[in-house]
Amino acid sequence: MYRNTIFLFIIYFTLQHVYAQNTTDISSADITFTFISKNVEGSVSGFKSSSNIDLAHIENSKFVGSVAVETLKTGNFIRDWSLKGNKYFDADSHPRLSFESTEIVKMDDGSYSVNGNLTIKGIEKPITFRIERRDNRLLGTTTLFTSDFDIHIKDQREDNKVIVTLNLRL
């Protein structure tokens, strides 16, 4: 009887381990951007995430995260202060930029297309990140236009182009 009980416990815990879903959270992130027409680089931090990443099948994951507008840095104090003001990002009224995935598709090259909604200044727009897994990190990029979010740095839409880069540590 004692041996049977031990055997059942061993089988139970082995099966629990085998069938447990291999998921993790995003522990931290580096988020940078390049404002193309002005050749200005910057970063934003204050990252918060409630993502659930399935390492075995990333396409089954859910990406949910935000960053604090107040942490926006471009290396120029006056420009940073201006960008956080109500003419541009309006950090007082809209303190966070947020993203939530709606669909993740594995691409032929092994990367992932992460479709979702980006909210800036209370304006939600669909956006797609291209994500690659490298060891315990997910690296991603997307291109957006600040004017789509009522942030008009320049008059022409094409001159408001920004490349966003993500380095997500799992």
pLDDT for the residue numbered 151: 98
pLDDT band at 1; cut points 50, 70, 90: low
Query: Phi/psi class of residue 90: alpha, beta or left (left: φ > 0; alpha: ψ in -120 to 50)?
Result: left
Tell me the DSSP string of 129-169: EEEEEETTEEEEEEEEEGGGGT--SSSSGGGGEEEEEEEEE
Mean pLDDT over the full length of the chain: 92
- Listed in sequence order, the residues at least 6 apart from 28 whose beta carbon sits closer than 8 Å to its beta carbon are 47, 168, 169
Quick: pLDDT tens for 80-94. Answer: 999 999 999 999 999
Average pLDDT value for residue range 111-120:
99
pLDDT band at 4; cut points 50, 70, 90: low
C-alpha distances out from residue 137 to 55, 116, 153, Å: 11, 20, 32
Evaluate if residue 33 carries a pLDDT over 70. Answer: yes
C-beta separation of 99 from 76 below 8 A: no
pLDDT band at 5; cut points 50, 70, 90: low
Query: pTM of whole model > 0.95?
Result: no
Chosen CATH of 22-169 out of 3.30.1330.200, 2.30.40.10, 1.20.1250.20, 2.40.128.110: 2.40.128.110
Average pLDDT value for residue range 49-61:
95
Q: In the beta sheet, which residues pair with residue 62?
A: 52
What ranges do the domains of the chain cover? Answer: 22-169
pLDDT band at 46; cut points 50, 70, 90: very high
